[in-house]
Amino acid sequence: MAEVKAKKRKLPPIGMRIIKSAVGVLLCFLIDIFRNGHGYVFYSQLAVLWCMQEYKKDTLAKARQRILGTIIGAVYGLIVLLIASGLELKAGIFTSVIWSLIVAVFIVIILYNTVVIKKKEASYFSCVVFLSIVINHLTDANPFLFVWNRVLDTLIGIVVGVTVNSCSLPRKKNRDLLFVSGLDETLLSEDDNLSDYSRVELNRMIETGAHFTVSTMRTPASLMEPLRNIKLKLPVIVMDGAALFDTNKNTYLYKYVISVSCSNRIATFFDEMHCPYFANVIIDDLLVIYYQDTEEKVYNELVNQLRVSPYRNYVHRHLPGDESVVYFMTICETSYLEKVYKQFMEQEYAGGLKVLHYPSKDYPGYSYLKIYNHNATRENMLLYLKEYVQVSRVVSFGTIPDRYTYVIEPGDSNRVVKLIRKEYEPVIKPWKRGK
C-alpha cells in the first residue's frame, strides 16, 4: 500500500497587528516611567490591546467605546467611594454584606444607563472600570486622585493604540490599475479559504481605492462563501468569462450565451448519447440549472450537494426549447466522456463553440465537459470590465505561464495580495526623488 505523506502545517507569518501591539505595550512602559508611579501601566496596556484592531475605522470605534465606558465607570465609582467615605463603615460581616449590595445595585444602574443612552457596547468596560475602583481602591485616601489617574491611564493607552495602529510607511496610491486574480490555487488556500492576512489587506486596499476583482470558472454561488468577508466593489468575472456578476446587487451585468437553436442542438446531442447534463441559464438575474434523471452516482451527488445554495435554482427537467444557455456541463467516467467528446467535436456546429474537456480533481476517474459561446473568454470579459472601470492598465494573477502578469505557484495564497500591495501602494522613497 502506498504511503500517504502527511501535509506539513505551514505556520502563518507574524502580522503587523501583533508587532504594533507589542510596540504599544512597550510605549506604555516608557510613558509610565515618566509618571513616577502615579499611574497603573496595566490599564494603559489593556486599552492599547483593545484598540489594536484589524481596520483603522474599527480602532477608532473601539477607542470611543473604551473612553465612554471608562467615563461612566469612573463617575459611578467615584460616587460609591464618596458614599463609603461619608458613611465611615466599619469592618465586619454585616458591613461586607451591605457593601456588596450597594455595589450590585450600582451595577444595575450602570448597565441600565448604557441602555438608556443606547451605548450598550460600552457596558462591559463601564462595569470593569467601576469594579476596579470600588473593589481595589475603597480605602484610598484621595478617591478623586485615583479616579483621575484611572481615567488618564485609559486615555494614554487609547492615544498610544490609535497612534501606533495608524502609523505606516508613506505610500503612493496607484488607482489607475485594475487587479484581477484567479481563485483556486491563486487567491485561495488548498482548503478553499482566504488567509487572514489576505482578507485584512485586501479590504484595507479596496477601502482606500484599489480596483480589485476576481476571474474564475466558478458560478457566483460557489465563490460567495470563500469571498464572504471581502468587501468587493467591482463585479466579478464568472463561469470562465461567460458572465460578469455584481456581488453587491446580485445581478448579471453582461453575459455571453449560446443561441436558442444551438442550445437545442446540444441538448439533443446529449439526449441521444444518453449523457445527463446541466444546462445553466440566466433568467431575470437568477441562475437556473436544468438537470435530468440518471443513475450516474457522481452526477446525482453534485445535484444534492450544490442545490442547497440560494444562488442556484435547480429545475428537474430537460432544457426548454426557448432558452439560451450560458454553458452546458456534464461529468461522467473519463472513458465514456472521451467518446462523447470526440463525437461532439465532429458535429458541424462544434467549431463555433468554446469546448473544455478535462479530468476532475475531486472525483478521480471522472472528467468534465463544458460548452460555452465561443466569445465567452476571460480575456473578452476583461476588456469589457476594463472599460467599465476606466483604468489604464490591468494586473492579473493566475497559475498558467505566459497568460497572466504574475504567475502564482500553488500553496502561496498570500503572494497575490503582497504583489497587489507592491503595485498599488509602493513605498515612497524621498531620497530617490529627482533621480
Q: For residue 154, name the pLDDT band (cuts at 50, 70, 90).
A: confident
Mean pLDDT, residues 123-138: 80
pLDDT for the residue numbered 225: 82
Residues 112 and 103: their CA atoms lie apart, in Å, by: 14
pLDDT for the residue numbered 143: 67
DSSP 345-404: HTSTTGGGEEEEEEE-SSSTTEEEEEEEETT--HHHHHHHHHHHHT-SEEEEEESSTTTS
Q: How does pLDDT run across 213-262, given as a tens digit for each residue?
A: 999 998 888 888 888 889 999 999 999 999 999 988 989 999 999 999 99
What does the angle CA 196 – CA 26 – CA 146 come to, to the nearest 5 degrees?
115
- Rg (alpha carbons) of the chain, rounded to whole number: 31
Angle of helix 143-166 relative to helix 56-87, nearest 10 degrees, comes to: 170
pLDDT for the residue numbered 4: 34
Q: Considering only residues 256 and 170, tell me which one the structure prediction assigns the higher pLDDT.
A: 256
Question: Are β-strands 211-214 and 278-283 bridged in parallel, bridged antiparallel, or unpaired?
Answer: unpaired
Beta bridge partners of 397: 181, 406
Which strands make up the sheet holding 286-291, listed edge to edge?
Answer: 313-316, 286-291, 278-283, 327-333, 366-373, 353-359
pLDDT for the residue numbered 334: 93
pLDDT for the residue numbered 399: 87
Mean residue pLDDT of the chain comes to 84
pLDDT for the residue numbered 98: 79
Residue for grid cell 502615579: 38
Q: For residue 6, name the pLDDT band (cuts at 50, 70, 90).
A: very low
Q: Considering only residues 139 and 414, tell me which one the structure prediction assigns the higher pLDDT.
A: 414
Q: What percent of the chain has pLDDT over 70?
A: 90
Q: For residue 163, name the pLDDT band (cuts at 50, 70, 90).
A: confident
Determine the 3-state secondary structure of 253 from DSSP.
Answer: strand
pLDDT for the residue numbered 429: 64
Q: Are residues 48 and 157 in contact, defined by beta-carbon separation less than 8 angstroms?
A: yes
Q: Are residues 304 and 251 in contact, defined by beta-carbon separation less than 8 angstroms?
A: no
pLDDT for the residue numbered 139: 56
Q: For residue 136, name the pLDDT band (cuts at 50, 70, 90).
A: low
Residues 292 and 290: their CA atoms lie apart, in Å, by: 7
Convert 52-101 into a string of H (helix), E (strand) and C (coil): CCCCHHHHHHHHHHHHHHHHHHHHHHHHHHHHHHHHCCCCCHHHHHHHHH
pLDDT for the residue numbered 103: 87
Q: Are residues 198 and 187 in contact, defined by beta-carbon separation less than 8 angstroms?
A: yes
Q: How does pLDDT run across 258-297, given as a tens digit for each residue?
A: 999 999 999 999 999 999 999 999 998 889 999 988 888 8
Q: How does pLDDT run across 21-39, given as a tens digit for each residue?
A: 899 899 988 888 888 777 7
Residues 170 and 248: their CA atoms lie apart, in Å, by: 32
Mean pLDDT, residues 128-149: 73
Q: Are residues 332 and 340 in contact, defined by beta-carbon separation less than 8 angstroms?
A: yes
